[in-house]
């Protein structure tokens, strides 16, 4: 009995962790949609959704119900199998990186404070110390991977297929144009994105997301957040991230004034909702990556003076600052959508290849030279 519990314990903990992480991220994503409509309304001097619940807070659920109950139209001449596969690929590739998000620092003894309160209670009195003993030094990450950064890049690059196949299988010329545009755009900007990360990896000496955060918390003051030594890399990453997530000013795959709705013209109801969700989860993932690589992730200078490192308040405060940084990026996305017009396709391509990529490679060379000179 005891050994069976021992074996099952990690599975239970991971299941609870996965449930919490995915549910939390999806709720935040649902409210990002509402926030986008509200903020856009504010920028354009409108009110935005305000009918469902106070200030429209129940709008995401109303949208979801609408998506579920709408009629699901399948074009007659479409390639059925690929047509059904495409939204699944898009959403799966968007959701997989959640497993690697570094939500916060390790807590030294998360449940130890519960033990004295439950000491006298019949079953709980035995169970709580047993669990507390096994929960010591538990990381606030579902999966620790020593190639975390590469993994997220790889999975997001597979996400192109969702869009490209959706465009091809719909058998619609606007969809096909959207799909072609998106694959060309994402291949081009992936290079700049990958090259802009190399500088950070050289400074941190690791590809592990938590390792990068730890490296940022250990350096001298100007290395505390890599945005200071890697400002060029940060700007390149930010621009490439906008292109990778197909957001304004790089939303050419769905450019509604040119291509009706781009790759998802023929998608309706729940399949459209999957694409929609994938786009916003991708936004969240890119914001997390940007936060971790350039803004220290959950690490905020000064917090360790307020609370002892490893305590529960420290972890909570770190987690809140992590979320705040992500929300700042999400707000930036919405703000730029309300401000900038769309690129033309040839401008987009020449900007990516002739400006962004050389700048990113120059940044890598500069970083290598400076690191070499400093270590000499």
Partner 1 sequence: MVSTVIFFLFAGFAIACAISMVYHKNPLYSAISLIGVFIALAGLYVTLAATFIAVTQILVYAGAIMVLVVFVIMLLNLDEDKPLNRLRYLYVVGAGLGVALLAQTFFIFYAVLKTPKSPADPDSLAGSPMSIGQAMYTEYLLPVEIVGVMLLMAIIGAVILVRRMEQPEMEAVIEQESENRIE
For binding to partner 1 (CB under 8 A), which residues are involved?
82, 85, 145-147, 150-151, 153-155, 157-158, 160-161, 164-165, 167-168, 176, 179-180, 183-184, 186-187, 190, 207
Which of 82/124 has CB closer to partner 1? 82
Question: What is the closest distance, in whole angstroms, from the C-beta atom of residue 49 to partner 1 in the complex?
Answer: 37
Nearest CA to 63 out of 272, 225, 247, 366 is that of 272
Q: What's CA 74's distance to the chain center, in Å? A: 30
Question: What is the closest distance, in whole angstroms, from the C-beta atom of residue 370 to partner 1 in the complex?
Answer: 19
Which of 82/227 has CB closer to partner 1? 82
Contact 264, 91 (CB under 8 A): no
Which of 185/300 has CB closer to partner 1? 185
What residue has token string 């507390």? 132
Which of 86/255 has CB closer to partner 1? 86
What residue has token string 């609370």? 307
Q: What is the DSSP letter of 308?
A: -
Helices (H), the chain: 2-43, 59-69, 80-95, 115-118, 124-134, 148-158, 160-169, 173-204, 209-218, 231-244, 256-259, 269-294, 303-306, 312-339, 345-350, 357-374
Question: What is the closest distance, in whole angstroms, from the C-beta atom of residue 179 to partner 1 in the complex?
Answer: 7
Which of 71/346 has CB closer to partner 1? 346
Sign of torsion over alpha carbons 92, 94, 100, 103: negative
Which of 168/299 has CB closer to partner 1? 168
Question: What is the closest distance, in whole angstroms, from the C-beta atom of residue 82 to partner 1 in the complex?
Answer: 7
Nearest CA to 151 out of 28, 29, 245, 289 is that of 289
Contact 64, 34 (CB under 8 A): no
Contact 188, 349 (CB under 8 A): yes
Question: What is the closest distance, in whole angstroms, from the C-beta atom of residue 133 to partner 1 in the complex?
Answer: 25
Question: What is the closest distance, in whole angstroms, from the C-beta atom of residue 187 to partner 1 in the complex?
Answer: 6
Which of 59/282 has CB closer to partner 1? 282
Contact 278, 94 (CB under 8 A): yes
Question: What is the closest distance, in whole angstroms, from the C-beta atom of residue 41 to partner 1 in the complex?
Answer: 37
């Amino acid at each position: 009995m005891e050994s069976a519990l021992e074996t099952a314990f990690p599975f239970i903990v991971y299941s609870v962790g996965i449930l919490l992480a995915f549910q939390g991220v999806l709720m935040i994503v649902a409210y990002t949609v509402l926030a986008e409509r509200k903020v856009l309304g504010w920028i354009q001097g409108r009110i935005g959704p305000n009918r469902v619940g106070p200030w429209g807070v129940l709008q995401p659920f109303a949208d979801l119900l609408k998506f579920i109950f709408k009629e699901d139209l399948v074009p007659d001449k479409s390639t059925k199998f690929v047509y059904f596969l495409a939204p699944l690929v898009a959403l799966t590739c968007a959701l997989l990186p959640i497993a690697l998000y570094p939500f916060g620092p390790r807590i030294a003894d998360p449940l130890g404070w519960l033990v004295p309160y439950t000491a006298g209670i019949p079953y709980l009195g035995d169970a709580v110390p047993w669990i507390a003993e096994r929960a010591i030094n538990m990381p606030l990450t579902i999966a620790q991977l020593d190639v975390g950064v590469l993994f997220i890049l790889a999975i997001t690059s597979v996400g192109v297929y969702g869009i490209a196949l959706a465009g091809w299988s719909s058998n619609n010329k606007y969809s096909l144009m959207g799909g072609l545009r998106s694959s060309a755009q994402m291949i081009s900007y992936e290079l700049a994105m990958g090259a802009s990360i190399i500088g950070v990896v050289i400074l941190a000496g690791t590809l592990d997301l938590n390792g990068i955060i730890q490296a940022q918390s250990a350096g001298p003051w100007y290395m505390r957040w890599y945005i200071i030594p890697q400002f060029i890399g940060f700007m390149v990453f930010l621009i490439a991230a906008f292109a990778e997530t197909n957001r304004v000013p790089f939303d050419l795959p769905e450019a509604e004034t040119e291509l009706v709705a781009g790759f998802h013209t023929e998608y309706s109801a729940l399949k459209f909702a999957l694409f929609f969700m994938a786009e916003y989860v991708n936004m969240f993932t890119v914001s997390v990556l940007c936060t971790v690589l350039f803004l220290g992730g959950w690490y905020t200078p000064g917090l360790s003076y307020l609370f002892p490192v490893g305590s529960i308040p420290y972890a909570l405060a770190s987690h809140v600052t992590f979320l705040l940084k992500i929300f700042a990026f999400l707000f930036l996305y919405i703000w730029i959508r309300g401000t900038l017009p769309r690129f033309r396709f040839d401008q987009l391509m020449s900007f990516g290849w002739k400006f962004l990529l050389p700048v990113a490679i120059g940044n890598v060379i500069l970083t290598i030279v400076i690191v070499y000179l400093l270590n000499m």
